[in-house]
A and B are shown apart, each in its own frame.
Chain A
């Protein structure tokens, strides 16, 4: 079954404690990205990756890092989380050619106290 998985699904942490949200896909898609979704602001792209070892900033990259060492994984790293990073995070992959369909992971709800 084609899928995008994220872990953890829920996380409550404290300011300054480094954390990583993992994202993995089994569809062999080159393009992966991270979004955050906040009430009234919609989905905003944090970072994206067009292929292994290629990453670029999206619209709201401050406070986040990513890596793309292998095609299937695209972890999101918060080196020093702050309360304004409390949000719902989605990882997504893009199948290009034809319909350019984007597939989303189930989301990670992060609370930073």
Chain B
């Protein structure tokens, strides 16, 4: 089983739609979780960290379910500018002083159409 698995995509949605990305991870010792965004031929950039309590940033909501080893990202009222590939990322060695080993999912491509 792959360490981090994501929806295969691509997701093609109209402007204004709500879209959800799912991600599962296999290492139950994973400690920290992130969603990154990558535009075509550009570097990945942190979109948001994911905490056990869930967190929201404007139109974006991330949730973590440790029992199911599942992470989600919800985008509400999607914009054309949201078109990108979204990468689920897991740190299997924890926060802080352990430095960490980030494992990336293969990403899910989102295309928002007018």
Q: Is B57 an interface position by the 8 A CB rule?
A: no
| Among candidates B41, B95, B96, B105, residue contacting A42 with C-beta atoms closer than 8 Å | B105
Q: Is A61 an interface position by the 8 A CB rule?
A: no
Q: Is A55 an interface position by the 8 A CB rule?
A: no
Q: Is B87 an interface position by the 8 A CB rule?
A: yes
Query: Which stretch of B12-20, B42-50, B59-67, B73-81 is in the interface?
Result: B42-50
The number of residue pairs between A and B whose CB atoms lie closer than 8 Å in the complex comes to 63
Chain B proximity mask over A36-52: 1 for CB below 8 Å, otherwise 0: 00001111010010100
Q: Are B43 and A107 interface neighbours, CB within 8 A?
A: yes
Majority SS at the chain B contact face = mixed
Known: A94-B99, A101-B49. 7 other contacts (CB 8 A): A45-B102, A88-B41, A97-B97, A98-B96, A102-B34, A102-B46, A104-B44
Q: List B residues at the A interface (Cβ < 8 Å).
A: 32, 34, 36, 41-46, 49, 87, 89, 91, 95-102, 104-107
